[in-house]
Amino acid sequence: MNSEFSLRQKMLEIGKLLEQKGLVVATDGNFSTRLPDGNILITPSGLPKGRLTIDSLVKIDLEGRKVKGTYKPSSEYRMHIEVYRKRQDVNAVVHTHSPYATAFAVSHIPLEPVVSEAVLANGHVPVSPYATPSTEEVPRSISAYIEKHNAILLANHGCLAMGKNLDEAFYRAERIEFLARVMFISRLLGGEKKIPQEEIDKLLKNWGIEV
Ligand SMILES: [Zn+2]
């Protein structure tokens, strides 16, 4: 497993990428990773993600208590903790307000794997019920979806992507935004055509995944 220092450096890199790719604006969005000591390293509240420093990151435990750091943890820390508690295979969580994915979240329209890469990357992306940001309502609203999905649209809010590491969670958030753009444009062209289930099963089989 990576050292805490290398994970802190990786967090800074992910913050810059999220900003460069337009997946977050201003001080919005937040992301985190599980540390070798079992605690969580999360972005601080109120800082733009492209300008994070090693020391601005906040270490919290799985109860949400601050272990190390001068800043307050992201106000959405409860949402992150809920994921880590429910998914031992998840070591990173990325939450964005990327525009196309957020537009689907605002419209309460789930994303479907209409491009073949999306079948493996995320599959069906559900919309969880609306919850007041930064409150206990958020973990409750996503709870039922966490075990079966690696990405969730949060109604009238944004996108939540999980991964076995920071790169995987970031790529997933980036791919969700791409998929949302493709679905949006497809609808201007008359609507996307879904990949038939037997073809999805074939794709998964080719990738060595049991169906
Ligand atoms: Zn948010």
Centre of ligand 1 to C-alpha 99, Å, is: 12
Catalytic one among 19, 76, 82, 177? 76
| Overall number of domains in the chain | 1
Instruction: Reply yes or no on whether the pLDDT at 44 is more than 70.
Output: yes
Centre of ligand 1 to C-alpha 205, Å, is: 35
**pLDDT tens-place string over residues 146-189:** 999 999 999 999 999 999 999 999 999 999 999 999 999 999 99
Taking the model in full, what pTM does it have? 0.94
Q: What is the pLDDT of residue 211?
A: 62
Boundaries of domain holding 153 = 4-206
Instruction: Reply yes or no on whether the pLDDT at 209 is more than 80.
Output: no
Domain assignment present for 211: no
Centre of ligand 1 to C-alpha 28, Å, is: 6
**pLDDT tens-place string over residues 67-100:** 999 999 999 999 999 999 999 999 999 999 999 9
Instruction: Reply yes or no on whether the pLDDT at 48 is more than 70.
Output: yes
CATH label of the domain that carries residue 81: 3.40.225.10
Domain assignment present for 65: yes
Centre of ligand 1 to C-alpha 30, Å, is: 7
3-state DSSP of the chain: CCCHHHHHHHHHHHHHHHHHCCCCCCCCCEEEEECCCCCEEECECCCCHHHCCHHHCEEECCCCCEEECCCCECCCHHHHHHHHHHCCCCCEEEEECCHHHHHHHHHCCCECCCCHHHHHHCCCECEECCCCCCCCHHHHHHHHHHCCCCEEEECCCEEEEEECCHHHHHHHHHHHHHHHHHHHHHHHCCCCCCCCHHHHHHHHHHCCCCC
Centre of ligand 1 to C-alpha 27, Å, is: 10
Query: Does residue 112 have an active-site annotation?
Result: no
Domain assignment present for 182: yes
**pLDDT tens-place string over residues 94-116:** 999 999 999 999 999 999 999 88
